[in-house]
Amino acid sequence: MSAAYSVLITGANRGIGLELVRQITQTHRELTKVFACCRDPHGAKAQELRALAEKYPDIIMVLQMDVADPKSIHQAAVQVGSVVGNAGLNLIINNAAVMFRCSVLESTAEQLTSCFNTNVVGILLVIQEFLPYLRAAAKAHGKAGMSCCKAAVINVSTLGSSIQLTNDRYDEFKLVPYRTSKAALNMLSMCASLELQKDEVLCVLLHPGWVRTDMGGPNGEMDVKESVEAMLKVMKSMNEKDTGALLDYRGRNIPW
């Protein structure tokens, strides 16, 4: 990530999303803009994000975007487009997600619908709405190949999305609505990677590890700072060979 670039992060008010905003802003001097998106930018849960934006007012732009609301996504895209212009948007990190801790017999239709609306449908709409700006960024970059500093969509997935590895620790991580929605996200991302190749837009799935956040819980295997540092290192190394892949925070391929 050595050239000037812009980044959009969903679910940016807490956990991994907030730490992504913090680390990208503090460590990448070539940034033109970080669009930090969350459902309620003015609410109590966005207090840390607002404080960070006040510290870096020329870089961080906090936007209202609820990825379960198509109108909200469209409005955010219009705002981003008015800022980036012909330079386009280089990187989207689809981090926002919802999760319910329940088994097959405990899961409800409402829980499954909620997970699919946010974790799958919302990402589909983000890709559709922001694709013109990704294309513009790829064109403006000018060099062949794919990378996160050129034009890329990084969809945060999970080890729990792997059908092949479902037997591993299933009793500990049932999470059925979440798992099934993330498995669907994997397919969506693979399809998107094939369609976006002609535009030289990278599309990769990334597992951040089991992280100690509100979603991951207190027993996670790493803190959020460690996870994001590893994720950014992997993202920096990504190229066209990785498009469509599901990678973990160490850069290893996860079987689907």
Percent of the chain with pLDDT over 90: 88
Note whether 149 and 202 are within 8 A (CB).
no
pLDDT at 58 over 70: yes
**What integer pLDDT is reported at residue 167 of this predicted model?**
92
pLDDT at 227 over 70: yes
pLDDT at 217 over 80: no
User: pLDDT tens digits for 127-148?
Assistant: 999 999 999 999 999 899 999 9
Is residue 215 very low, low, confident or very high in pLDDT (cuts 50, 70, 90)? confident
pLDDT at 2 over 70: no
- Which residues pair with residue 38 across a beta bridge? 64
Average pLDDT over residues 41-45: 96
Does the CA dihedral 121-122-123-129 come out positive or negative?
positive
Query: Residue 178 has what DSSP assignment?
Result: H
Those residues with Cβ within 8 angstroms of residue 254's Cβ, 6 or more apart along the chain or in another chain: 159, 162, 165, 207, 246, 247, 248
| Interatomic CA distance for residues 18 and 30, integer angstroms | 19
Those residues with Cβ within 8 angstroms of residue 73's Cβ, 6 or more apart along the chain or in another chain: 65, 66, 67, 122, 125, 126, 129
Average pLDDT over residues 82-88: 96
| Amino acid type, 89 | L
Put the strands of the sheet holding 202-207 in their side by side order: 60-64, 31-38, 5-9, 91-94, 152-156, 202-207, 246-248
User: pLDDT tens digits for 101-132?
Assistant: 999 999 999 999 999 999 999 999 999 999 99
Q: Which of 153, 163, 160 has the alpha carbon at shortest distance from 189?
A: 153
How high is the mean pLDDT of the chain?
Answer: 94
